Amino acid sequence: MSEPPYYPVPVARPSAARWIAPLALVIALLAAGAAGWSLLKPEPKPETPGAVADPKAEVCGAFKIVSEAVSLRTNITPPTDLGPATAFATEAIAANARLAMAGGASYLLEKLPPNTPAELAGDVRSLADDLNTIAMSALAGVSNDTPDQSSRLRSAEATSKKIASVCKQ
């Protein structure tokens, strides 16, 4: 009988397939660990404005800027020689006045240090609230002649005078 032909036995060669699976497992475990850590780590505390050496000066500086902006933007009258564009100019002036009030309210609150004397801080918050409400009401089409808007305007004026008096001292 004859012997079967000789076929060499295949020799296993190192290939990429052998180390890809363990590498993928290691990467997956690292990713799972990082995801778990990010879920369990404590949230960073939000930054709060710190106390300042002279809170009154800080508040009064912000109040001065806001007062000037609101006064400048609310006391503009459009030129009369614009013809049909007068209506657009009037609306643009009113929009700038509303922007000065709304932006001023936010600016006052942003610049209010936590160590501001309580009465001054309360007045600044009250003025900011009045300015915001006046601006939003005006944007909603509420006229300055309506009782509520007129009352808010008087309140803002009185509070503004009170803050100005404190800032002069």
pLDDT < 50 positions in the chain: none
The pLDDT value recorded for residue 10 is 66
The pLDDT value recorded for residue 4 is 67
CB 141 within 8 A of CB 114: no
How open is the CA angle 125-116-158, to the nearest 5 degrees?
40
The pLDDT value recorded for residue 53 is 80
Amino acid sitting at position 166: V
Q: What is the pLDDT of residues 54-100, one digit of tens each?
A: 889 999 999 999 999 999 988 888 877 888 888 888 888 888 899 99
Q: What is the pTM of this model?
A: 0.68
Tell me the C-alpha distance between 40 and 25, whole Å.
Answer: 22
Break the chain into its structural domains and give their ranges: 55-168
83 Ramachandran zone, left/alpha/beta (phi>0; psi -120 to 50): left
The pLDDT value recorded for residue 153 is 93
